[in-house]
Structure 1
Amino acid sequence: MTTAGKRTERSVEELRRSGWRGRLVVLGPAFVAAVAYVDPGNFATNFAAGAQYGYLLLWVIIVANLMAMLIQSLSAKLGLATGKNLPETCRERMPRTGNFLMWVQAELVAIATDLAEVVGGAIALNLLFGIPLFTGGLITGVIAFALLALQGRGHRPFERAIVALLAVILVGLVSTLFRVDVDPAAALAGLVPQFEGTDSLLLATGILGATVMPHVIYLHSALTQHRMTAQSPADRRFLLRTGRLDIVLGMGVAGLVNLSMLVIAAALFAGTAVPDTDTLSGIYAGLTVQLDQVAAIAFAVALLASGFASSGVGTYAGQVIMAGFLRRRIPLLARRLLTLIPALVVLGLGVDPTQALVLSQVVLSFGIPFALAPLVWFTAQRAIMGTLVNHRVTTVVAAVVTALVVALNAVLIVQTLAG
């Protein structure tokens, strides 16, 4: 065993024996993944749901969050069990042509992801400072590049920066949540699964269908694969339990943020004549009218943090995708430009930013089955996972969730393309 291997073994064992302090050291990957669940697309969808139907669809956000926890736990476990991320496992287990096609669709997913994040950051900068959208897109891209540069110092600085931005999003929205008059009875009623006509069903489909982001499924397995190496069954159990805690906390924060968005919109916009609450700029204006400028600024700052953080995470995922499927790496600046240029072209052409967000979600929807199906299959194989193979019940539930998400995204695609 190498000296490096001995250091890793002692480190894991030491952390395992140090109780909660050891667990805190291992936390982090799920908080990076959680950023994908509070990206600018979620801002628009959740506020629109609350504005149109009040608290009716609160239960949808909770179900979506539980689905996210399950899927991200499978991705994290794959990296922990195999020492390989999902794209690398696909390259090993799939024919060359199939692997190449997987890479092509995954790259399109990465580009669509960055489009949504850059547009969201640009809108936030425009709302806060009046910066033109194209210039705001450039600024968002530069900030994301700076975040990725932190990786050169190890995983911790990058994770801390992302967690700090996630905290800004959380504080910005929760602080407003405490200022609005929530109807407790209506909120409790919103926890019971129900719909009000076809339109509410379609909106619920949009929330559920857009919950799972394919790029972060690829990424989460990479965040755990080399983080620490388990040298014993006890080490492996420790890392698995701590990873589950990480996911519960990270996805829990994302769920709280999403719930806050819907509740704020339900309390302030439902049943009112406030216009354009299905757009980010309309939400900003509506918060100013219904509450005050402070609430609007808090929303815009949270949106800005979301754009910065999710753009950085999306570009990181792009690196993982190319390195995993093709075993190729390109300079970080080139990687940043590859995904940034399409977003800048869209902004430069003057395309409606909200429409650009919608179209990016359609592209992401196409990529979901290509990430989910291999993940469920691989984690159900003992030859791949060893002792961390899925329990049969876990595999069945994951397969059902996969089928549901794919079906919902198919409906979402048809709905969007049909106008």
Structure 2
Amino acid sequence: MSKSLEEVNQSVATQNKTSTFRKILAFFGPAYLISVGYMDPGNWATDIAGGSQFGYALLWVLLMSNMMALLLQSLSARLGIVTQRDLAQASRETYSPFINYILYFLAEIAIAACDLAEVLGMAIGINLLFDIPLIDAVIITVLDTFLLLFLINKGIRKMEAFIIALVAIIGISFIFEMIFAQPEMGKVVQGLIPSMPNSAALYIAIGIIGATVMPHNLYLHSSLVQTRKFDRSVAGIKQALKYNLIDSTIALNLAFFVNAAILILAAATFYKNGMFEVAEIQDAHQFLAPILGTKWAPILFAVALIAAGQSSTITGTLAGQIVMEGYLNLRIQPWVRRIITRLIAIVPAVIVISIFGESVTGKLLILSQVILSLQLGFAIIPLIHFVSDKSKMKGFHISTLTQIGSWIVATIIVSLNVKLVYNEIVGWLETAENPIVLWLTVVPMAFGFLILLLYIVFKPFITKTKLEFQNHSPHNLDLQFSDIARYNTKRIAITVDFTSADAVAINSAFELGGIEAKYTLIHVVETVGAMVYGKNIEDHETLIDEKLLAEYKEMLSEKGFKVKTKLGFGKPYKVIPAIINKGGFDVLVMGTHGHTGFKDLLFGTTVDKLRHQISIPLFIVKI
């Protein structure tokens, strides 16, 4: 199993810090990337609707949602820190392929729905700020496609700094909005006391909770905490858990402030002036200036909306990469992944807006939240099972009290979301011109998902299977060696990547050189640290790769082959030619993994870039 977000995995050192503050600071960052998912444009509509219809009465719902989110995100961080697996990887190694494909499909739909909300939010912000037609603004959002690639190439700390800057823009904007709006602080405090004015308020409350906890954030957090390199001792893991909890608490409280500020702004402006029906983001923007008497209120509102959309779409695409790599063990180039995710969101938005006009954006946002609601249970429930498992968590499993609390939270969230989905389906059936189509498609699908949800909930309780993680080790490979020898005086180089493909490449090399040839196994470390520090890097990935090469050498030497190893650092298409041209080799054997044409575009290819830089024959093995 490859590392989660391998290009930045364990790229931030947390050891040898001189003070407690520096240690805490080294762990700070992942939760801020998570927090933007809790203040994305999908949350704005429910916050505005809640504030305009019921004033400050539903502030307590936001507070409760934030506490639920903090608990779930802490579980996600615990999974990543202790097991060094993200949620998608843990699911892949636990459930059957059939179940995993369904879970992957649902996760991808949820990420696409989330990206739809972020695209719409950012486009609405651009439309409001620069008076650009909404459909053009949607297309403009494609331009940020390469921003994630640029940021991640600069390192995870640079990305975290960028996201924190956007969060700061959102926070500062709403501080000024609060100054302009002058909310009644007594009523704000009163709104933190649980109450439910009527059934309509309950529906809005469900929407707020449904929009708050994002399923993709659970995948993302379990991966981002692995960007920190720390002592893997019991004390080191405890320290990492402690500092990440502090990080999550601060970041999610900032998200609570933003959501509360949006609701308070709606209450202090629209509810106070009897404008109870304001629920659209565009309407809220339009009414701010005349009500508050300043042109800066709508400008700051639009700027914050753009910042929320931009930051959320970056983290959403990262989550997409994690889900694809984790569930399918499939890695494609980040820019291709980004374009695919963005197009899945943009194409439906452009089509719907073109046909039905700009007034439909509010319904699209609501639809995206319903889709997210449908998927949420399939992320929360496996997470609770995983962090409760004693063998999997190596003694760092959650306590019985925390388990009870987690299941209560999961029950509340899943029940409310099931109700939300049920209400939407009933509404579609009542208003549809041809409800039979829905009965034959949507209803059976909903029942199927419900059965799958129940299966995931109860299976671990009924069948106590031992959940073992697969180890990234050559001993997992079934290497069978050929005795055929065609040439006996060769110096043969073989590239290896510690996957099952190595067996094919190594056997092909043995067929060329036989028992008398001299073989050199070449592996290139591609981590961010390796690219920056080269052979001076001493990160976890390098140590693992050195060990695996040594195990390969020992394994092959025992069979009578003459084997050396060579570890390179950086981009393979640059490093491998340098090793080959200095090594005096007769032939290089490497695999293409069967990539041709469009697959080369998706997966990238070292072969094409390398073949023109070496002066010896290249033996390409199709894996």
TM-score (normalizing by structure 2): 0.64
| AA of the residue aligned to 2:303 | V
Distance 2:178 2:318 in 1: 32
Q: Which residue of 2 aligns with 1:126?
A: 127
| CA distance 1:12–1:231, shift in 2 (3 Å) | farther
Contact 2:86 2:326 in 1 (8 A): yes
Q: Which residue of 1 aligns with 2:51?
A: 50
Asked if 1:368 corresponds to 2:387, the answer is: no
Q: Which residue of 1 aligns with 2:139?
A: 138
Q: Which residue of 2 aligns with 1:63?
A: 64
Q: Which residue of 2 aligns with 1:388?
A: 396
| AA of the residue aligned to 1:327 | N
1:218 Cα deviation after fit: 0.6
Distance 2:167 2:319 in 1: 18
Asked if 1:179 corresponds to 2:180, the answer is: yes
| AA of the residue aligned to 1:209 | G
SS at match of 1:93: coil
The gaps in structure 1 that reach 5 residues or longer are: 1-7
Q: Percent identity?
A: 37
More helix by share: 1
Relative contact order (alpha carbons < 8 A, sep ≥ 6): 1 or 2 greater? 1
SS at match of 1:218: helix
CA deviations on 1:300-320 (whole Å, 9 max, x unpaired) are 100000011101111110000
CA deviations on 1:223-278 (whole Å, 9 max, x unpaired) are 01242243322211211111010000110100111111111111111142447520
| CA distance 1:11–1:335, shift in 2 (3 Å) | closer
Q: Which residue of 1 aligns with 2:89?
A: 88
Asked if 1:333 corresponds to 2:341, the answer is: no
The gaps in structure 2 that reach 5 residues or longer are: 1-9, 428-623
Distance 2:415 2:12 in 1: 46
| CA distance 1:153–1:322, shift in 2 (3 Å) | same
| AA of the residue aligned to 2:157 | R
Asked if 1:323 corresponds to 2:331, the answer is: no
1:206 Cα deviation after fit: 1.0
Out of 13, 16, 19, which is 1:14 matched to?
16
Distance 1:87 1:273 in 2: 47
Decide which moves more: 157-166 or 182-191.
Answer: 182-191
Task: List aligned pairs for 1:341-360, cutoff 5 A.
Answer: 341-349=343-351, 350=353, 351=356, 352-360=360-368
Alignment size in residue pairs: 411
Distance 2:395 2:347 in 1: 48
Contact 1:82 1:225 in 2 (8 A): no
Distance 1:410 1:315 in 2: 26
Q: Which residue of 1 aligns with 2:425?
A: 417
1:183 Cα deviation after fit: 1.6
Asked which structure has the greater CA Rg, the reply is 2
Decide which moves more: 299-308 or 203-212.
Answer: 203-212
Contact 1:119 1:343 in 2 (8 A): no
Contact 2:66 2:252 in 1 (8 A): yes
Q: Which residue of 1 aligns with 2:450?
A: none
TM-score (normalizing by structure 1): 0.94
Q: Which residue of 2 aligns with 1:407?
A: 415
1:348 Cα deviation after fit: 2.0
Distance 1:284 1:265 in 2: 10
1:332 Cα deviation after fit: 2.0
Distance 2:280 2:67 in 1: 27
Q: Which residue of 2 aligns with 1:223?
A: 224
| AA of the residue aligned to 1:69 | L
Distance 1:230 1:92 in 2: 25
CA deviations on 1:94-140 (whole Å, 9 max, x unpaired) are 11111111111111111111101001100100000112223322332
More strand by share: 2
CA deviations on 1:19-67 (whole Å, 9 max, x unpaired) are 1122112100000000000000111111111111001001011000000
Q: Which residue of 2 aligns with 1:5?
A: none
